[in-house]
Chains A and B, each alone.
Chain A
Amino acid sequence: MTFLDYAPAPESTSILNLKKSYGLFIGGEFIDGHGGSFATVSPSTETTITQVAMATEADVDAAVRAARKAFSGTWSKMPGSERAKYLFRIARIIQERSRELAVAESLDNGKPIRETRDVDIPLVAAWFFYYAGWADKLEYAGLGPAPRALGVAGQIIPWNFPLLMLAWKIAPALAAGNTVVLKPAETTPLTALLFAEICQQADLPPGVVNIVTGAGATGAALVAHPDVNKIAFTGSTAVGRGIAQSLAGTPTRVTLELGGKGANIVFDDAAIDQAIEGIVSGIFFNQGHVCCAGSRLLVQENIHDDVVARLQKRLSTLRLGDPLDKNTDIGAVNSKAQLQRITELANSGDSEGADRWSAPCELPAKGFWFPPTLFTGVQTSHRIAREEIFGPVLSILTFRTPDEAVAKANNTPYGLSAGIWTEKASRMLAIADKLRAGVIWANTFNKFDPASPFGGYKESGYGREGGKHGLAGYLESSSPKGGLK
């Protein structure tokens, strides 16, 4: 080891005080479910972290009943100013326990502690803090003088930002006066269960938040439950489509935050060093497990070779390994199944004629890993240009004119995110107008804020999370002329 190498700097797991097993959080208490238990595994070591309960249909029903009781008995009668204080309390406890939550999240998800510590958990606290303030100001949300809560919200979240997605769902729902039943992802239930403990510490009235762990069948039971007024889902377009189909014709409100194939457009006048950093964080942040990832790089043809060379140099400096190490840039892929999907799609890139380059990094023997990878020579018809890979794989295409960049960027059934890199503000604004995507980052990428609405066009889903617009998904308009179903 030379003095330029990094010594291992792992964050200790001794901060965690985990139980050997966790039940379901229903009516303010952890109770045994009826479906047995399953292990949640650390994807970087394949070792079991703890056992969690598999919620059955009957368990989901019990959770919905607890949420209904809390809605009619307590939460809907409580003044917004009091609801707000519970949410402020939760925000503060998250800040107090932030390091513990960051360690738990990295352990369970495989993402680097640098990200959970600096991005995920601070945003979780910010989300509760932001929506806490809305709870007694709903008349300013643009939905009439006295908008009403919907009732019980069923919420299903993915594994890529486990606690952050929980915050995106629970904070606005509770601020608007709803109670919730939330199902975390099968592979990342840990921080949702710690959040249940936080609800207990905050003395949140029983039943306002209920957490049911499980797999796809648990989520399906929640979607199918007749006493749920709202389903909020973040996950794949295929599952979201199924939810939309199954709820057709019912009064259940639905918001869907689904897949993406974001275009990151780099013009030849861009500030190139910043653009390289933005491209890297656009696709390699969180191992590329990001629905709004900039997974298609559209680079102006005359700077293609330079950009690719700079990217290769930059990616060669990324450190892949122990997610708990403070110097780690790239963590583990979340599951074996996801690693197989990434591998299969990357192989299709080879067989369809694109050129693969992977960063020269050593992959640990245990766990699920995929090196940061670039594909050049990608055609718009290639699967790696059309399908969401949800991994650290960047497909690079070129364009000559702004019109061509816009046409290629919009050439996808998705419409979640896009990036624009140029020093010319008038061009940036003109391009932003033409892109069919819900979030546009100009000279930056993958930025999130509770005040900023997030959500997709087209097959990336509907509804917005964040900001004033994020409240609309949990409120019934009291405007006498509103009330659209």
Chain B
Amino acid sequence: MSARVAVAKTYKLFIGGKFPRSESGYTYETLDHKGRFVANVAKASRKDARDAVVAARAAQPSFAGATAYNRGQILYRIAEVLEGRRDQFVAEIRAAEGVSASQASAQVDRAIDTWVWFAGFADKYAQVAGNGNPVAGPYFNLSVPEPTGVVVALAPQGDTGQSLLGLASVVAPIVVSGNAVVVMPHFAQPLPALSLAEVLATSDVPGGVVNIISGNPAEVMPWLASHADVNAFDFAGGAGLDWVSWQRDAAGVLARVVAPCEGIPERSLERITAFTEIKTIWHTKALG
């Protein structure tokens, strides 16, 4: 009797809660750490990037309008669903990075814990980063952080330890405050990130809040950097790329830019507030 033939998965983009192929029809080969073919992955084009920004813009206001408690539960749900599918991610990470089972498992652990850590900050960061202001007059004066809007991110691109955790560490602090994100995953090791899209799609994350577009950042990022409807950028994985010219282009609409980091961004309040704006409200006080 012949062995059963496995069913191979087609890896596609994740835009607006759906899984489209690239409109360009282009794919690229992903290889495992030994250089063997694993899958053809959709290769995002300029049009796909622009579609993703449109989806993010459409989804952002209602996501920002959800209660912080609700956003926290959504992020926690991502951790729950990821936990339930950990074996798949361990296998994909091992294939992509060539790391041991325990290293891959540790990466999945940290990715899950990252979602949980930020989930718990959803209804607290505004208390830490905002405050009442004792102005010299009869006014109630309050400063609160709000999401910046649509953020474009480039996940870390290191050789090992980042294909899943890098993306989670970039995306979680962006969305916890109510931003929507268009993220380019690890270019050479995109499969764990694209499988994470399946987790997001089944975790109560509203369609369009997280959009994952696999492809070559050197080709796609210039289009996003000069896009007038993007409010901020996280060039976390851009160190070896031309992020300086992207930053120059992003200045066209005064988009906020976080420069590339070494390795994986640490969990921090600063990573949340980097993608928020302080709004200050004055209101008169009077008895009559």
Binding site for B on A (CB under 8 A): 126, 142, 237, 240-241, 244-245, 248-249, 256, 258, 413, 425, 428, 432-433, 436-444, 447, 449, 451-455, 457-462, 464, 467-469, 477, 479-485
B280 near A258 (CB under 8 angstroms)? no
A467 touches B282 (CB 8 A): no
Q: Within 8 Å CB of B269, what residues of A? A: 479, 482
Q: Are B282 and A452 in contact (CB under 8 A)?
A: yes
Per-residue A-contact encoding for B38-80, CB less than 8 Å = 1, 0 else: 0000000000000000000000000001000000000000000
Extra contacts besides A439-B282, A452-B135 (11): CB < 8 Å: A241-B254, A248-B251, A249-B244, A438-B279, A447-B135, A447-B137, A449-B135, A449-B136, A467-B280, A481-B266, A484-B261
Residue of A nearest to B279 (CB): A438
CB distance from B258 to the nearest CB of A (A): 6
Q: Are the CB atoms of A441 and B129 closer together than 8 Å? A: no
Give Cα A245 to B249, complex, Å. Answer: 7
**A-B residue pair count with CB separations less than 8 angstroms:** 123
Pairs of residues from A and B, 8 with the lowest C-beta to C-beta distance, nearest first: A249-B244, A244-B251, A481-B268, A449-B135, A248-B247, A485-B259, A248-B248, A482-B270
Query: Does A451 contact B248, Cβ atoms closer than 8 Å?
Result: no
Cβ-closest chain A residue relative to B231 = A458
Residue of A nearest to B65 (CB): A433
Establish whether residues A256 and B254, one from each chain, have CB atoms under 8 Å apart when the complex forms. Answer: yes
User: Knowing A248-B247, A481-B267, A481-B270 touch, does A469 contact B278 (C-beta < 8 A)?
Assistant: yes
In the complex the two chains form, is B254's CB within 8 Å of A484's CB?
A: no
The CA-CA distance from A126 to B247 in the complex, in Å, is: 37
Whether A437 contacts B133 by the Cβ 8 Å rule is: no
User: How many B residues touch the partner, as a band?
Assistant: 35 or more
Question: By the criterion CB–CB under 8 Å, are B244 and A248 in contact?
Answer: yes
Rounded to whole angstroms, the CA-CA distance of A237 and B131 in the bound complex is 28
Q: Could you tell me the dominant secondary structure of chain B's interface residues?
A: mixed
Q: Which residues of A contact B261 (CB under 8 A)?
A: 484
Specify which of B128, B133, B271, B281 is in contact with A451 (CB 8 Å cutoff): B133
A140 to chain B, nearest CB (A): 11
> In this complex, what residue of A is CB-closest to B252?
A241
Interface residues in B184-236 (C-beta closer than 8 Å to A) = 231
For B242, give the chain A residue with the smallest CB separation: A249
The residue that B141 contacts in the complex, of A413, A449, A482, with Cβ under 8 A, is A449
By a CB distance below 8 angstroms, the chain B residues around A479 are: 268-270
Q: Given the interface contacts A449-B133, A481-B270, does A440 sit within 8 Å of B282 by beta carbon?
A: yes
| B34 proximal to A (CB < 8 A) | no
A359 to chain B, nearest CB (A): 27
User: Can you list 11 pairs linking A and B with CB atoms under 8 Å apart?
Assistant: A240-B254, A249-B248, A413-B253, A443-B284, A444-B283, A449-B133, A451-B134, A451-B135, A451-B136, A452-B280, A484-B271
Whether B143 sits at the interface, judged by CB under 8 Å, is: yes
